[in-house]
């Protein structure tokens, strides 16, 4: 049997060098990829946390605005009710005053109408009974 041909030392060294370079390139790429992936995950986590924080702040602002709108609506409603009550009170007072005047006119003689009636009566009497001219 003949001994197998062995590779030449030079060919073996060249193959080992190429293999080492390929391993280094792969490990460098993997290391960079792992670092980039880690940075991306940290960035996504950080951005997500910031977005949640902004969303909570915006939600609080919206809640405050809604609360202010509701308070303004309640205040306006109370003002409208107050104005309606004031108007109703004024109308009621006016109705009472008109009723009092009407009752007064029913039970008491109207002075102006009485005076006009008396003058009209005297005028009619004079027209029907003129005084003779003076001689």
pLDDT tens digits for range 10-39: 656 666 666 666 656 556 565 655 655 667
Tens of pLDDT, residues 105-134:
777 777 788 889 999 999 998 888 877 777
Structural domain harbouring 21: 13-128
32 is a domain residue: yes
15: CB partners within 8 A, 6+ apart: 7
Q: Is the pTM of this model over 0.75?
A: no
8 is a domain residue: no
42 is a domain residue: yes
135 is a domain residue: no
- pLDDT-based confidence at residue 71 (cuts at 50, 70, 90): very high
59: left (phi over 0), alpha (psi -120 to 50) or beta: alpha
């Amino acid at each position: 049997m003949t001994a197998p041909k062995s590779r030449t030392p030079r060919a073996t060294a060249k193959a080992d060098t190429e293999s080492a370079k390929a391993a280094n390139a792969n490990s460098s790429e993997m290391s960079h990829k792992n670092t980039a992936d880690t940075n991306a995950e940290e960035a996504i986590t950080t951005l997500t946390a910031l977005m949640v924080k902004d969303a909570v702040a915006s939600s609080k602002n919206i809640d405050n605005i809604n609360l202010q709108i509701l308070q303004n609506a309640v205040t306006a409603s109370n003002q409208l009710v107050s104005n309606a009550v004031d108007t109703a009170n004024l109308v009621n007072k006016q109705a009472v005053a008109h009723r009092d005047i009407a009752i007064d006119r029913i039970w008491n003689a109207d002075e102006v109408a009485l005076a006009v009636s008396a003058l009209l009566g005297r005028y009619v009497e004079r027209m029907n009974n003129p005084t003779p001219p003076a001689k």
